[in-house]
Structure 1
Amino acid sequence: MRTLHIAAAVEAFSLVALLGNLLTTHTPAVSSLVGPLHGTAYLVVIAATWQVCNTTTPGTRWAAAVPGVGGLLALRRIRSEGARVSG
C-alpha cells in the first residue's frame, strides 16, 4: 500500500508540473525530466493496484488506468471498500 500511496502522489504532482510547464514557459528540460517520471509513476500505480486489490470492487483496477489521477481514484476506492468491510 505504501508504494501505491507514493506512486499516486508522484503521478498527480508530475502531471501538475507537466501541465504547468506547458501553460507557462514550455521548457524542454522540464518536459524531458518530468515526462518519464510521470510515465513511470503511472505504470507503478497500475502494477501496485493489481497487487493490492484482490477482493475489492472490480472497478478499482480500471480506475488505476486513468492517466494522471488514477492512483488517487484507486486509493479512494480501496479505502471505501476497507471501510465498508470493517464497518
Structure 2
Amino acid sequence: MVRALRIAAMVEAASLTVLLANLATVHAPAVSSLAGPVHGTAYLAVIAAVWLAPTGAASGPRWRAAVPGIGGLIALRRLDRRGADPSTSPTDNPQKGTADGHPL
C-alpha cells in the first residue's frame, strides 16, 4: 500500500506543478482539461492509500494527506518515520536519512 501511496503522491505533486505552470504561462484549456482530473484522482488516491495503510492507524498521517498538492508527500514522510526502526541509525540504513547520514 505504501508503494501505491508513493506513486499517487508523486503524480499529485507533478500534476499540481503542471497546472500551476499552465496557469502562470499560456493557460491552455487542453492542459487544464487533462491535468485537472489527473490531479483530482491522484489526490483522492492519496487519501484512500493513507487510510488503508497498515501503519496509518494514527490520525497524524491521515490529516496530512488531506493537504492539497503536497499532502501525500508529507503523509508519506510521516508514515516512513513511523515504520522506521528506532534502534537503527541513518548510517546503518542508507535509505533513511540524507546522503551525509543526518536524519530527515
TM-score of the pair, normalised by structure 2:
0.77
Letter in 1 for 2:77: R
Equivalent in the alignment of 2:96: none
1:1-87 superposed matches below 5 A = 1-54=2-55, 56-83=57-84, 86-87=85-86
> Residue 81 of structure 1: CA displacement?
1.2
Kindly name which structure, 1 or 2, has the bigger radius of gyration based on alpha carbons.
Answer: 2
Q: 1:15·1:38 contact (CA, 8 Å) conserved in 2?
A: yes
Counting matched residue pairs gives: 85
SS of equivalent residue, structure 1 residue 22 = helix
* Separation in structure 2 between the aligned mates of residue 74 and residue 30 of structure 1, nearest angstrom: 28
TM-score by length of structure 1 reads 0.92
Once superposed, which parts of structure 1, at least 4 consecutive aligned residues long, lie more than 3 Å away? Answer: 53-57
Query: Which has a greater percent of helix?
Result: 1
| One-letter amino acid of the structure 1 residue matched with residue 16 of structure 2 | L
Preserved CA contact (<8 Å) 1:4 1:71? yes
Q: SS at the partner of 1:81?
A: helix
Higher relative contact order (CA 8 A, sep 6+): 1
Cα gap change, 1:55 to 1:69, in 2 (>3 Å): closer
Matched residue SS, 1:26: coil
1:55-87: CA deviation from partner (whole Å, max 9, x where unpaired): 55421100000000010000000011112xx22
Unaligned runs of 5+ in 1: none
Native 8 Å contact 1:8 1:45 kept in 2: yes
Paired amino acid for 1:79: D
